[in-house]
Amino acid sequence: MTLEDVEQAASRAAPADRGAAMRRAIAAAMSRSKREIPHYYLAETIPLRRAVAWLSRQNEQRPVTGRVLMAAVLLKAVAATLVRTSELNGYFREGGFQPSPAVHIGVAIGLRQGGLVAPAIHDVAGKSLDRVMADLADLVKRARAGSLRSSELSDPTITVTNLGDQGAESVFGVIYPPQVALVGFGRMHERPWVEEGTVAVVPVVTASLAADHRVSDGHRGGLFLATLRDLLQQPESFLE
């Protein structure tokens, strides 16, 4: 069962029952995922001082309605990282891994009636930060209005879930088949951090990776998180 199957199962239910129907469909999909996919999990706490400062400078030049959220920066960082670690971007089908030439990130969105969908923002690596922000806002709006396109539910090559606004410091998710990885971000918060021999209070976020051991291993997963961390120390390298 894929994300598209989950949405279709919920849409067939009566409006009053759609939340419960979606929860049952998600339960079936996630149970299958845990049975069939040998998950492994890794996490890295990433300092965001440079990324936050870069974004603040950019937003100073924009009207309030045109400002970019850190969530869009994190999506761009994940996409840039996947370009370098492509074995986490694609599908496990017919007994083997099928890499995707483009990065279509499924964004986990909670629905008002209950349940969760993760429709895709297409070609995140090839889009500007402003375009990703606009696509993200549009996707959230249409997901909650029930007007997603079927391709947006079937196309994700990886999923990103961000539970920072729920107060969670870290999240370890379950992979959506046939994808082979899921990236989680927790709450951005301040923490004492050593930078160049000096202790300072800086914003940090915990990034986690759930990945399919049939396709990658801990070494490659660790490389993904290390690359993600390093890119976020040089935001201009992938955002400008």
Q: Hey, which residues are catalytic here?
A: 213, 217
Which residue matches tokens 């996947």? 82
The amino acid present at 177, given as its one-letter code, is: P
Compute the distance between CA of residue 230 and CA of residue 24 in angstroms, rounded to an integer.
39
Rounded to 10 degrees, the C-alpha dihedral 31/36/40/46 comes to -60
Q: Phi then psi for 79, rounded to 5 degrees?
A: -65, -45
Rounded alpha-carbon distances, angstroms, from residue 106 to 56, 65, 109, 188, 190: 26, 24, 9, 21, 28
Question: Residue 11: how many CB atoms within 10 A of its CB?
Answer: 12
Tell which residue, 178, 220, 209, 154, has the closest CA to residue 37. Answer: 178
Q: Where are the alpha helices (DSSP H) in 37-186?
A: 49-60, 70-84, 129-145, 150-154
22's enclosing H/E stretch is: helix 18-36
Compute the distance between CA of residue 91 and CA of residue 98 in angstroms, rounded to an integer.
5
